[in-house]
Structure 1
């Protein structure tokens, strides 16, 4: 059941029962948990008049990982001695992982685990990757109240990428904030004010240099200790139309795409 709540400042908040997949305070969109499952979703329209245009400064973006887009080093396979080959031992089946705490989920989240391909097919649309980063310096990834919440709750890093559709009409910055615990992730998901662009930032790219500004559509969900988000903006930096169903759909599709590796850990 999805219930939209319209606000006088032009924002929209939606309370939804996660499948499994929400800022609060007077005068701005609010979302509340919808049941026993702590995972939740918050969808907000960021009004174009809600904040002044934030200049995109190229120096603020630190490209993470290696030039190949992988934040891990290449591994060389061990050479097999000549002669009779020794049968490989059976591979143990993956075990389910409790992703609510980094103590039970110690594996690092690699960029290629979240965004393995330079192109993504979602809902009949093709999106090409324009830029990617792994940010441990959180100033690059968030603004204002959201930035403060990420720091306060001990965010380890933000893995993110910007994609453009083939027509170069929509740009999407999607990412995952890695938190130490599920409690920390839930607090971060409620923090910030997208209407004032005190939220996760749009990441400017080669073909979308003007998306680090207000006027886009924000969506967020929580999986265990991870905060997954998507920010959809016009590729030319112009605000998206309020209530645009395509923009909402694209935001949700990117959330669903980014949670795949997290759900895979849970299943084992």
Structure 2
């Protein structure tokens, strides 16, 4: 019987027009006043045009042959007026210059801020930069790393399966627990004489398929005794053949508080294989009672010990695969 599988600033307003109101229109300068206007307002006679009923002044004061005295006050007023005109023009030009400088400064400030923003907010990877040049994408290697070693490879090939193997190493401790069910361990053994620890036709099957050794251990729980035997073969194919051809069973292992069982009675025998290992169980009552299909504790014990054997063999492969990965620096 076989086991199951376990945003810009505004420009400043131009002020050049202010102060130019009435330019060239001062009373008495450049234009004749109305009759009586100067007398009514107490203003001096105008310059540049003759006043009524008065002698006309020489148009070129200070010239030779002239008997008139130049109007020095009028000349001074004219000079002052021309000076004011020049100053107003200069002031107006200054305002315009100020506006131009202000615009340049504002432009420089905005340009600087824009550069700062770009520095703080770089172009995202994979987009087009302000110069129109695509930014490079990160590159990764297209070569996948090698897969980790497969534990099954180490328990299938004798060239890789080099770890020490013993009954105590395969069946450690004084007890075994499976899903809360505790089993006490009895005796253990190991032999290279595979046929010697079998019953029925199992010996010949092991021998025919090149069995190298058998490791056994017995466990007990609530009056049920189970012996589990693990047979080692030179290949996975050989172990699989031995499992398929199995007849008879592994011989019960007594001792360490466990008496004779499955002798001259009906017991439950099962077989399975993983890698180059085949494993067998024989379970029955410690008192010699024969096993029936209704005896669930016996079937449960057989399942638990078969699962335990599978786990131990696979753990052996996993440990060797991990060690190989560490040695290769993977």
Which TM-score band applies after superposition, normalised by the shorter structure? Answer: 0.5 to 0.7
TM-score (norm 2): 0.48
**Residue 259 (structure 1) aligns with:** 310
Select the structure that is richer in strand.
1
**Residue 172 (structure 2) aligns with:** 116
How many residue pairs were aligned? 175
1:248 alignment partner, one of 285, 299, 303? 299
- State the Cα deviation string for residues 212-266 of structure 1 (Å, max 9, x = none): 4241112222110001222111011221222422221211111111122322244
- SS across alignment from 1:259: helix
How far the C-alpha of 1:210 sits from its partner, in A, is 2.0
Are the counterparts in 1 of residues 195 and 204 from structure 2 also a CA contact under 8 Å? no
User: 2-side partners of 1:175 and 1:96: how far apart?
Assistant: 25
**Residue 208 (structure 1) aligns with:** 258
TM-score (norm 1): 0.59
RMSD of Structure 2 on Structure 1 (CA): 2.3
How far the C-alpha of 1:146 sits from its partner, in A, is 0.8
Are the counterparts in 1 of residues 216 and 227 from structure 2 also a CA contact under 8 Å? yes
Listed as ranges, the matches of 1:191-230 within 5 Å are 191-193=245-247, 198-213=248-263, 214-230=265-281
**Residue 177 (structure 1) aligns with:** 231
1:15/1:158 CA distance change after superposition, 3 Å: closer
Are the counterparts in 2 of residues 132 and 162 from structure 1 also a CA contact under 8 Å? yes
1:238/1:186 CA distance change after superposition, 3 Å: same
- SS across alignment from 2:273: strand
Listed as ranges, the matches of 1:156-167 within 5 Å are 156-165=212-221, 167=222
User: 2-side partners of 1:223 and 1:15: how far apart?
Assistant: 11
- State the Cα deviation string for residues 13-71 of structure 1 (Å, max 9, x = none): 5785x34xxxxxxxxxxxxxxxxxxxxxxxxxxxxxxxxxxxxxxxxxxxxxxxxxxxx
Q: Which moved more, 1:200-209 or 1:114-123?
A: 200-209
User: 2-side partners of 1:14 and 1:102: how far apart?
Assistant: 24
**Residue 71 (structure 1) aligns with:** none
How far the C-alpha of 1:95 sits from its partner, in A, is 5.2
Greater Cα radius of gyration, structure 1 or 2: 2
User: 2-side partners of 1:185 and 1:239: how far apart?
Assistant: 30
- SS across alignment from 2:187: strand
- State the Cα deviation string for residues 181-226 of structure 1 (Å, max 9, x = none): 1111111112233xxxx22111122433221424111222211000
1:246/1:266 CA distance change after superposition, 3 Å: same
Larger RCO, structures 1/2 (Cα 8 Å, 6+ apart): 1
**Residue 7 (structure 1) aligns with:** none
Q: Does 1:234 align with 2:234?
A: no
How far the C-alpha of 1:159 sits from its partner, in A, is 0.8
Q: Which runs of 4+ in 1 moved over 3 A?
A: 13-16, 94-97
Are the counterparts in 2 of residues 131 and 162 from structure 1 also a CA contact under 8 Å? yes
How far the C-alpha of 1:161 sits from its partner, in A, is 0.6
User: 2-side partners of 1:236 and 1:114: how far apart?
Assistant: 27
How far the C-alpha of 1:176 sits from its partner, in A, is 0.9
Are the counterparts in 2 of residues 130 and 164 from structure 1 also a CA contact under 8 Å? yes
